[in-house]
Structure 1
Amino acid sequence: MSLRSTLDFLLYDWLQAESLNQRERFADHSRETFDAVLDTCERIAREKYAPHNRTVDTQEPHFDGEKVILPQATHDAHKAFVESGMMSAAQDYEIGGMQLPFTLQAAANSFFAMGSVSIGSNMLTSGNANLLMVHGTELQKNVFAKNEFSGRWAGTMCLSEPQAGSSLSDVATRAVPDGEDFQEDPLGPRYRLTGNKMWISSGDHELTENIVHIVLAKIPDENGKLIPGTRGISLFIVPKRMVDTEGNLTGERNDVALAGLNHKMGWRGTTNTLLNFGEGKYPVGGKAGAVGYLVGSPGKGLHCMFHMMNEARISVGTAAVMLGMAGYYASLEYAKNRPQGRPAGPAGKDSAKPQVRIIEHADVRRMLLAQKSYCEGSLALSLYCARLVDEQKTGTPEAGDDARLLLEVLTPIAKSWPSEWCLEANSLAIQIHGGYGYTRDFPVEQYWRDNRLNMIHEGTHGIQAADLLGRKVLMEDGRGMKLLAARMTETMARAARVPELAAHAKALGEALQRIGTATQAAWSTGDPRSALTNAVPYMQAFGHTVLAWIWLDVAARALEFDAGKSSAVTTGKTSAAAYFFNYELPKIGAWLNVVESRDPTCTDMPEEAF
């Protein structure tokens, strides 16, 4: 199946996205408008992104002393993306949006991610603007968010620092009031920031006329000292170039300087930077310190930033999915056309017979089916999460609240599971190509390099696992877990009535019960250190259980629509589901054994023994 036919099935047959048009917000849309959006994005990705994926990998960004230089292909792709209107596709008409369901926007953006994730689909710009639409003042929305949604300006997320990494409590960037009348700036309370931010994607470039940095910094206490921990962290808008209240550039640079470009294994088409704030290279009004405007309340920076971080985590998961899909399609095409070897018969191999294509070899078929199960399953999970976003924003109050809590529980899985298992799919794609896969003559080695970042991007596996077991499954007395279990149980009940799926339904029920037992066992002592010792194996088992549920639900819907016709589409879905239940789901036993026993092997190992 092509990506488009897979998306059509998941969107329309499985998630029933067309039914969203019955809601007032989406009433102007129809299947025809949805298809037109998908057609446009598929065409742009095919013409402007995919042909240049290797170009942006080999022609890395470089700094000429004044500005960052990117290939012309990146400028052309960005221009086409902006002109498509996809930057603000889900936003209100009043700010230039299309009021499309987020489900449809997520599906359409998948074409760009598969065409060239390194060129990107501007997820940080849209995430930055979405944050400001929730937490910014009206003027901040009008000046900064709307110019980002229009594509005139770009946006970043500046959290990490060289000495802190993911440990946000150790942020050392300072923000001090800019004079005694700092409260009077119409763009927000005005501060001066000094510090360094590391690993900032798209931190400097010339794709847009301005870059809006969203920066975490600490406001000192009355004694001028930084408050330890996260209590003093606040959030600031720090534009690269200064602007007025009408959104016009004033002609003055803000005191934000590019200190260096990081040279990466993958995602080479996107600049990754070290930025210095307030070093005095571009003094504003003759005074050092980067000008920043406070977003929200002082000390509430993390609360605001997590709005963007959660959105970014789902986007990272989707990027991992599409890199996996790109590798899957490439290796499938190769396997269908590469002749090698002969099948073994009762008397051994007959060298007089012609060679067979490698797709006829059992192990190649295993690797292809593994990729299909990982990637299509992950795509379904990503779109399911997007559908929850629409439910949260436009459903009934009760349904919206349930969707919010389900998203809380599923976000660590939607980020971590594709980033691990679609990376494994890319590894299998290389394996199918054999020695050719290890060369730059074929694209699969680049897909693996690009995808390897996603297990780190926006929170490592360890961070996601601690979030899942340490917070998400416990929040609101475990109500999110209960909601997820109820949806799984509903799927199991439907599938149990289908002969082809009954055994899978039973296996999922056993897995769900085991997850519940392991959760209780992990927390039985009430000691977080003991409970979280094996948080990553817990998350792996949890993720496999979620993906088994997704595949069971997808397979059940495919059989309902098939009505006995045994189409290739349905066979593909049921075979991928069978692979997942027979080859993957049994793995959760080994993972949960160490969780339930709170196995201390790793934590008890003395440092000097490593």
Structure 2
Amino acid sequence: MSLRPTVDFLLHHWLQAEQLNQRERFADHSRETFDAVLDTCERIAREKYAPFNRLVDTQEPQFDGERVILPQATHDAQKAYAESGMLSAAQDYAIGGMQLPYTVEAAANAFFAMASVSIGSGMLTTGNANLLMAHGTETQKRVFALNEFSGRWSGTMCLSEPQAGSSLSDVATRAVPDGEDFESDPLGPRFRLKGNKMWISAGEHELTENIVHLVLAKIPGPDGQLPPGVKGISLFIVPKKLVDTEGALTGERNDVALAGLNHKCGWRGTTNTLLNFGEGKYPVRGAAGAIGYLVGQPGEGLRCMFHMMNEARIGVGMAATMLGMAGYHASLDYAKNRPQGRPVGPEGKDPNRPQSRIIEHADVKRMLLAQKSYCEGALALELYCARLVDEQHTGAPEAADEARLLLEVLTPIAKSWPSEWCLEANSLAIQVHGGYGYTRDFPVEQYWRDNRLNMIHEGTHGIQAMDLLGRKVLMENGRGLQLLAQRINATIERAIQMPDLAAHANALGKALQDVGAATKAAWATGNPAEALANAVPYLQAFGHTVLAWIWLDVALAAHSAPESAARTGRLAAMRFFFHYELPKMGAWLGVVSRRDATCADLPEAAF
């Protein structure tokens, strides 16, 4: 079973990506060039990634005291990805990019995430470089970003610390000016950093000749104390190896040391590290501290970093989606070929009849259809968000502003919804396999382990929920929520005209009303502690409403397509979501609307 027909349908029949070619930036492209990019990425994923997904899971990264050792397959895959040009796919021709729409770039990267998310496709490197293109100086762009886009160097984001976790206001990494001439360094104001960073993906390896760390740190005040809260956080480029203004390595190692590798449940092919900055293992130029170059203005680090974090959150959503899709394809193949049991007839089971394949059993069909509805719906959501990115960057001013605000509201959903429900799809894939699914003889247990990370990194479920209910639906006087409601209502108005879809359109309309009422009820007292106590159930209900809308919109496109098995399957997945999933919203929104304090008020001793 191939992913490609689903991608083609969503990209071209539903989102009509070819219309982007009417814009000046994408005028050189056509359906043929889009297909060529997808063909190339599909081939590389099939040849360099998929065959080694189990290998990189079993041969975990090893540290010999000096360097991290990874399987040769990882080196080969990363080289092939860099040579494909995908690291700079959306960049200008002038710097070696392809000026591809982000919609197409996201669709192309889906093949790598499905083949082996653990090997990785350069999400952090591209995000790192994109941040520098937005906030760096011309020299920082030329020296650091361009070498990342070429694949010569790779990039990371260093936010969390062992003692702080997700609480960035408690960051304790310090950055002090490096000498009296610190402001005159052509690479940017030069500082010395000391501190520890935890959970740094791809923080140490030999895949590229250099690693560009983007590090959050605080500049002490005149009294030597670190400023409190997130407003004092600044952002620094801290290369693993020092470079000159032409991007050549100087031969000096920066004082960035690997303190240890984290041994993970999944995603074992990607190194995950604890890094020590400025501990003195690699003294630099006779002074203590790792050398870092300020990006943007002091105290503006978190604002800059969100450029990368928001991009990464859509990437995490896509990774979760494609792991779910990989499990769905594996369990579908298994269900088609595994004989077990016999059909139940009016007289019960006839032991003389041949065995049925398990796909013939209604409950197995339920599990497969659930996976299909979760994963194909999530893929549509991620591509829709990617299309909004293109609108934000290349649309007319009013449309671009709408896309910006819609992305603000949808990003927490794009990250969190697939990371919960495509993980559930992986659990169902194991269930379809039965006992075999719980063994390492089949790939579905690895897909589940790999996917379990996605509810945690780039902002946990709880953080996404508080961001949505505490900030995103309120920002600009609720305008983002209003814009989303307008788009949902436009789909409802189209669908209600069609007899097959009218009931679903009405159900979606009610769900939208219920979310709006719950939003108001949550904030009725104006007390954030009361409003946010049930932020995760709100996130779940909001996400299900968004996915129901996405599915109904996809169903409208499917209705206009010729009769086929794929069309029948898409419409069935839409019906499944409305019949089996959307009704769950009542319980979630009930506790939100009541500002239920069962959890918040329970004393610690009662546990």
Q: Give the TM-score taking structure 2 as reference length.
A: 1.00
Structure 2 distance, partners of 1:303, 1:287, is 30
Question: Do structure 1's residue 595 and structure 2's residue 592 form an aligned pair?
Answer: yes
What pairs with 1:448-487 in structure 2 (closer than 5 Å)? 448-487=448-487
- The equivalent of 2:393 in structure 1 is 393
- The equivalent of 1:267 in structure 2 is 267
Query: Displacement of 1:271 after TM fit?
Result: 0.1
Aligned length: 607
Structure 1 distance, partners of 2:600, 2:429, is 35
Question: Do structure 1's residue 57 and structure 2's residue 54 form an aligned pair?
Answer: no
Counterpart residue type for residue 109 of structure 2: N
Counterpart residue type for residue 548 of structure 1: A
Structure 2 distance, partners of 1:232, 1:518, is 35
Counterpart residue type for residue 365 of structure 1: K
- The equivalent of 2:129 in structure 1 is 129
Question: Do structure 1's residue 291 and structure 2's residue 291 form an aligned pair?
Answer: yes
Structure 2 distance, partners of 1:605, 1:447, is 36
Structure 2 distance, partners of 1:89, 1:308, is 16
Bigger shift: residues 426-435 or 341-350: 341-350
- The equivalent of 1:223 in structure 2 is 223
Query: Displacement of 1:57 after TM fit?
Result: 0.0
What pairs with 1:80-479 in structure 2 (closer than 5 Å)? 80-479=80-479
* Paired residue secondary structure (1:206): coil
* Paired residue secondary structure (2:154): strand
Q: Which ranges in structure 2 are unaligned for 5 or more consecutive residues?
A: none
Structure 2 distance, partners of 1:296, 1:23, is 31
Structure 2 distance, partners of 1:287, 1:338, is 66
Counterpart residue type for residue 297 of structure 2: S
Give me the CA root mean square deviation: 0.5
How far does the alpha carbon of each residue in 1:27-76 deviate from its partner, in whole angstroms, 9 at most, with x for none?
A: 00100000000000000000000000000000000101111000000000
- The equivalent of 2:576 in structure 1 is 579
* Paired residue secondary structure (1:44): helix
Structure 1 distance, partners of 2:117, 2:564, is 32
Q: Which one of the candidate residues 555, 562, 567 is aligned to 1:570?
A: 567
How far does the alpha carbon of each residue in 1:280-327 deviate from its partner, in whole angstroms, 9 at most, with x for none?
A: 111111212000000000001000001100000110000000000000
Query: Displacement of 1:489 after TM fit?
Result: 0.4
How far does the alpha carbon of each residue in 1:470-510 deviate from its partner, in whole angstroms, 9 at most, with x for none?
A: 00000000000010000000000110111111100000000
Query: Displacement of 1:96 after TM fit?
Result: 0.7
- The equivalent of 1:533 in structure 2 is 533
- The equivalent of 1:507 in structure 2 is 507
- The equivalent of 1:609 in structure 2 is 606
The answer to whether the 8 A contact 1:282-1:288 is kept is no
* Paired residue secondary structure (2:384): helix
Q: Which ranges in structure 1 are unaligned for 5 or more consecutive residues?
A: none
* Paired residue secondary structure (1:66): coil
How far does the alpha carbon of each residue in 1:341-360 deviate from its partner, in whole angstroms, 9 at most, with x for none?
A: 00111111000010010000
Structure 1 distance, partners of 2:585, 2:344, is 34
Counterpart residue type for residue 608 of structure 1: A
- The equivalent of 2:29 in structure 1 is 29
* Paired residue secondary structure (2:205): coil
How far does the alpha carbon of each residue in 1:110-154 deviate from its partner, in whole angstroms, 9 at most, with x for none?
A: 000000000011100000000000000000000000000000000
* Paired residue secondary structure (1:194): strand
* Paired residue secondary structure (2:539): helix
Query: Displacement of 1:561 after TM fit?
Result: 2.5
* Paired residue secondary structure (2:286): coil
* Paired residue secondary structure (1:156): strand
Runs of 4+ in 1 over 6 A off after TM superposition: none
What pairs with 1:482-497 in structure 2 (closer than 5 Å)? 482-497=482-497
How far does the alpha carbon of each residue in 1:588-608 deviate from its partner, in whole angstroms, 9 at most, with x for none?
A: 000000000000000111100
Query: Displacement of 1:570 after TM fit?
Result: 1.4
How far does the alpha carbon of each residue in 1:71-99 deviate from its partner, in whole angstroms, 9 at most, with x for none?
A: 00000000000010000001000111000
The answer to whether the 8 A contact 1:156-1:203 is kept is yes
* Paired residue secondary structure (1:214): strand
Structure 1 distance, partners of 2:476, 2:61, is 46
Structure 2 distance, partners of 1:457, 1:571, is 36
Structure 1 distance, partners of 2:35, 2:278, is 48
Structure 2 distance, partners of 1:123, 1:412, is 18
Query: Displacement of 1:2 after TM fit?
Result: 2.6
How far does the alpha carbon of each residue in 1:198-231 deviate from its partner, in whole angstroms, 9 at most, with x for none?
A: 0000000000000000000000001111111112
* Paired residue secondary structure (2:561): helix
Q: Percent identity?
A: 80
Structure 2 distance, partners of 1:337, 1:120, is 31
* Paired residue secondary structure (1:259): strand
